[in-house]
A and B are shown apart, each in its own frame.
Chain A
């Protein structure tokens, strides 16, 4: 099984040197779904942003390699990298309410990439966009193409963003907490839709989330992050049966259950976080040496 996205020892630091990602390595095979889980601030989203080249300006990649479809992105000049990413990867963003340009109609926002990067003719791009909107179960796609984002609900907008992400048949899609901003009932539909689209288009998917429940439904493999360090990389089934790292086990134990709603919340125990912190510090010392 060949991997489509390979990250090797990726280190991202703040301009002042503080590490945000600590030598992260991971593999996503073509057509596979890889989950990235961790607490807030663990650096899950930053991995996606580093791959897509949209890191905030205060951050920079200080070392490591990002191989996308056999090319090390970080070795390319900026314009070439942007073109490659645009042609092979796409993003399903977290907040559908701010991810569409409010002053433009939906249609051009979907066809943009097809026309700009792949050089399609406008009519072809529009026909393709109509098909895609149908694929994500949007009723009356022709009318939606002419709508402005504010005329549509959050769930509709997320469907549009999914359609838009798949438009150019990318080989890799990064979904950055795609269901966090939606209500629970819509979440389930959107998850099912992403899974359905991913399987149909055979896309590699990097799925960023803090919700292990979501991971168990959509992912094949996953990485658990803590403080910008991968503490465990595992196949799905094995992870839920026998997590190896104590932090993974604690995280798994902290997931609330539906079956016993009165049991209260289980925090990750202090001893476990202390142990991981120690591990991270040791890593920093080794990296510094």
Chain B
């Protein structure tokens, strides 16, 4: 009668190692940016504009990844940019997740009028074009870190609400939920102790995905100059500046772009990997 499924120890896959490794590196460089950045990210030196990275001819010692058109160190700006990217990812991602998942859970489990109100709200919300919506919001709120976070939350909570609602609905139809109620649980208690643990893997996967999306949205807004003040170092801002001089100094564009790409990819891969590990059936 012994079943081997419980004995399987699943190794932490390559996917989880790589994505986790990259994100750890990013967190460390964000935290220790003032210590490890070789230069001041805001310091301009017009005599040192558009210096290439260290392995190319004409590079300047001390500027490993070259400089942009105003002579600012690309590496230092990227390290400081990681701070903003991660703050946005964590704060905006988490707030979006909490708001969206709560509403989705209530709608999917309680059904009836709470579901009707929340679902109609989501439908209406999704009819707005998201990027325009964000631009409008920031135009109203004024640029700044808070505005970016608010814009991301406002645009993206519907993603959580819809997915979590569907998941809560299918879990709510299971017999174990009825059993919990027969055993005297209140509806609210049942939602927290029976439904929530079973939709948690989905929420975790969505949360990490959302963090990646938050980084992208921040980059998009920086790109159209609607992010934090224009000279603070953000990846999106760097990409936007690098675009204008891509023929003379490709490195200003390419390094932040690669970093952005790897970060977003790592977030989504981390989510997939964690989802498997959170799921008792797959674990």
Q: Residues of A at under 8 Å CB distance from B?
A: 52-54, 57, 79, 82-83, 85-87, 89-91, 93-95, 98-104, 109, 112-113, 116-117, 139-140, 147-148, 150-153, 156, 161, 164
Contacts and interface: CB of A to CB of B under 8 A. Distances in A.
Given A57-B111, A86-B184, A117-B183, A99 B3 contact: no
Interface stretch (B26-34, B123-131, B171-179, B244-252): B171-179
Contacts of A147: 3, 6
B178 A54 contact: yes
Interface of B: 1, 3, 5-6, 111-112, 174-176, 178-186, 194, 197-198, 200, 280-281
Given A82-B184, A102-B281, A93 B1 contact: no
Given A103-B198, A151-B5, A98 B184 contact: no
Contacts of B175: 93-95, 98-99
Nearest to A167: B183
A100 B174 CA distance: 9
A104 B198 CA distance: 9
5 contacts: A52-B182, A53-B181, A82-B184, A91-B179, A101-B198
A151 B3 contact: yes
Contacts of B186: 79, 82
Interface centre among A103, A113, A164 (most CB of B within 10 A): A103
A156 B1 contact: yes
Nearest to B281: A150
Given A57-B111, A151-B3, A100 B176 contact: yes
Contacts of B178: 52, 54, 91, 93
A113 B184 contact: yes
Interface centre among B111, B176, B181, B197 (most CB of A within 10 A): B176
A36 to B, nearest CB: 17
B74 to A, nearest CB: 46
A98 B280 CA distance: 14
A148 B280 contact: yes
A161 B1 CA distance: 18
B259 to A, nearest CB: 36
A95 B182 CA distance: 16
Given A139-B1, A147-B6, A148-B280, A112 B198 contact: no
A85 B175 CA distance: 17
Contacts, number: 83
Contacts of B182: 52-54, 85-86, 89-91
Contact of B280 (A102, A140, A152): A102
Contact of A83 (B179, B184, B197, B198): B184
Given A112-B180, A151-B6, 11 more contacts: A53-B182, A85-B184, A86-B182, A91-B182, A98-B174, A98-B175, A103-B198, A103-B280, A148-B281, A150-B5, A150-B280
Nearest to A144: B1
Nearest to B110: A57
B220 to A, nearest CB: 37
B5 A104 contact: no
A151 B1 CA distance: 10
A100 B200 CA distance: 17
B183 A99 contact: no
B280 A117 contact: no
A117 B182 CA distance: 11
Contact of A113 (B174, B183, B280): B183
A163 B215 CA distance: 51
B129 to A, nearest CB: 36
Rank and list the top 3 A-B pairs by shortest CB-CB distance, nearest first: A86-B184, A99-B175, A103-B197
Contacts of B280: 102-103, 148, 150
B197 A112 contact: no
Contacts of A151: 3, 5-6
A90 B180 CA distance: 10
B173 to A, nearest CB: 8
Contacts of B197: 101, 103-104
Contacts of B176: 98-102, 109
Contacts of A89: 182
A179 B5 CA distance: 25
B190 to A, nearest CB: 10
Contacts of A86: 182-184
B1 A117 contact: no
A83 B184 CA distance: 5
A90 B179 CA distance: 8
B2 to A, nearest CB: 8
A202 to B, nearest CB: 20
B198 to A, nearest CB: 5
A159 B110 CA distance: 31
Contact of A112 (B111, B183, B200): B183
A99 B184 contact: no
A57 B1 CA distance: 40
Contacts of A153: 1, 3
A102 B177 CA distance: 11
